[in-house]
Amino acid sequence: MLFIVKENHDISSLLEKIRMASASYKVVDIYGKRIVIAWPDNLVENIEDISIDAKIRVRKPYYLVSNEWKSGKTIVNVGGVEIGGSRIVVAAGPCAVEDEDILMEIAKAVKRAGASILRGGAYKPRTSPYSFQGLGEKGLKILKRVSEAVGLPVVTEVMDTRDVELVKSYADMIQIGARNSQNFTLLREVGRAKIPVLLKRGFGMTVEEWLLAAEYILSEGNGDVVLCERGIRTFEKSTRFTIDIGGMVIAKMQTHLPIAADPSHPAGNRDLVEPLALAAIVAGADMLIVEVHANPSKALSDSEQQLTVEMFEKLMKRLKAVAEAIGRSI
Ligand code: PEP
Ligand code: MN
């Protein structure tokens, strides 16, 4: 049950009534409101209090993420770029930050082609401990310099709670990768960090589990979350992962949060990225995050799926045409 508190009202008597009912609660300040979440519903449904503006029984287990209580879409502002409005936002850049000159070249090219956020990993979640692991803080410094020189805000992954504050000091948006999307300690930490979060869907997660992962972040008072579909594991081996467009649409129907799609990781092959990107925006994605490299065959990670600059330019042209056809812009 969500108790939306009247502005500047004392909640001590409400909390006392919840305790007397033997229910649990959490007080969250989010979207300019104070909300008391109390559960289970059956113990608190008859509670009334002078401090309550509205009492909403959300039927989904992800209370704050659900659109049952919040009217209108949430817009997430990343360094001045609004995600969740009618304009589709494209983030682009290499899988990993490898070198300042290469990143500068890629950043200028993707900006020229119409991207409005720069992506690049400094901490890379690699399957093998012997693969390139990313440049760490050095990579963050490179990202920041390039971001400022080119004028694009940055999204980059954090893998460890110990690095959240550091990454926050360099980035405009933090990415939680597929492999960490049920690392609940990390989710709470980025919730407390109050920085926009791009939450990838784990490749073994149901849509409900993905939305509950977002609930961990919101329940710490951070409402700036974008949910990103990036493909799930199925029996199909011809693609790297199976992009779940249906699941992405279901997620969008359940939440007020913006939805993104990553067409690169499910493709695993650069020729497949464009059709998946087009499909995702037709299905309602508010944002795309695409891997682009100046020389993909030399890339230190995900070289098969990174687009060349020329391919990205072509993709942007086609995205613009499709966006227009569905009444949106890029
Ligand atoms: C990435 O964006 O480079 C990445 C590792 O993504 P995911 O966590 O979705 O595999
Ligand atoms: Mn990658």
Beta-bridge partners for 291: 93
End-to-end CA distance of the chain: 38
Which residue minimizes the CA distance to atom 6 of ligand 1? Answer: 177
Q: What is the pLDDT of residue 231?
A: 98
Is residue 134 within 8 Å of residue 121, measured between CB atoms? Answer: yes
Q: What is the pLDDT of residue 71?
A: 85
Q: Relative to the CA of 262, which ligand 1 atom is closest?
A: 9
CA–CA separation, 49 vs 221, rounded Å? Answer: 23
β 24-30/225-229 pair status: unpaired
CA 100 to chain centre: 25
With residue 225 as reference, give the H or E element that holds it: strand 225-229
Nearest Cα to Cα of residue 302 among 95, 58, 86, 24: 95
* Residue 100 CA to ligand 2 centre (angstroms): 18
Specify the length of the chain in residues.
Answer: 330
Could you tell which of 175, 241, 287 is best to mutate to test the pocket of ligand 1, judged by most ligand atoms within 8 Å of the CB?
Answer: 175
pLDDT(253) > 90:
yes
The stretch 93-99 carries a mean pLDDT of 98
pLDDT(202) > 90:
yes
Is residue 13 very low, low, confident or very high in pLDDT (cuts 50, 70, 90)? very high
Q: CA dist 148 to 113, 145, 284, Å?
A: 18, 5, 31
Percent of the chain with pLDDT over 70: 100
- List pLDDT tens digits, range 225-252: 999 999 999 999 999 999 999 999 999 9
Percent of the chain with pLDDT over 90: 100
Please tell me whether the overall predicted TM-score, pTM, comes out greater than 0.95 for this model.
yes
Tally Cβ neighbours within 10 Å of residue 124.
21
The stretch 11-24 carries a mean pLDDT of 98
Cα R_g (the chain), whole angstroms:
21
Count Cβ atoms within 10 A of the Cβ of residue 329 and give its class: 0-12 exposed, 13-18 middle, 19 or more buried: exposed
Could you tell which of 124, 135, 157 is best to mutate to test the pocket of ligand 1, judged by most ligand atoms within 8 Å of the CB?
Answer: 157
Name the average pLDDT for the chain: 98
Residue 245 CB partners (closer than 8 Å, separation 6+): 229, 279, 280, 283
pLDDT(271) > 90:
yes
**Environment of ion ligand 2 (residues, CB < 5 A):** 95, 302
- CA angle 8/9/14 to nearest 5° reads 150
- List pLDDT tens digits, range 130-150: 999 999 999 999 999 999 999
* Locus of tokens 């045409």: 321
Q: What is the CATH number of domain 76-325?
A: 3.20.20.70
CA–CA separation, 154 vs 161, rounded Å? Answer: 19
Is residue 330 very low, low, confident or very high in pLDDT (cuts 50, 70, 90)? very high
Is residue 44 very low, low, confident or very high in pLDDT (cuts 50, 70, 90)? very high
Q: Which two tokens stand for residue 69?
A: 């209580």
The stretch 97-110 carries a mean pLDDT of 98
* Residue 13 CA to ligand 1 centre (angstroms): 46
Which residue minimizes the CA distance to atom 1 of ligand 1? Answer: 95
Q: What is the pLDDT of residue 10?
A: 98
Q: CA dist 74 to 78, 258, 303, Å?
A: 13, 7, 34
* Residue 307 CA to ligand 1 centre (angstroms): 15
Is residue 227 within 8 Å of residue 258, measured between CB atoms? Answer: yes
* Residue 95 CA to ligand 2 centre (angstroms): 4
pLDDT(289) > 90:
yes
Residue 292 CB partners (closer than 8 Å, separation 6+): 92, 93, 94, 106, 109, 110, 306, 307, 308, 309, 311, 312
* Locus of tokens 């760490």: 136
* Residue 224 CA to ligand 2 centre (angstroms): 23
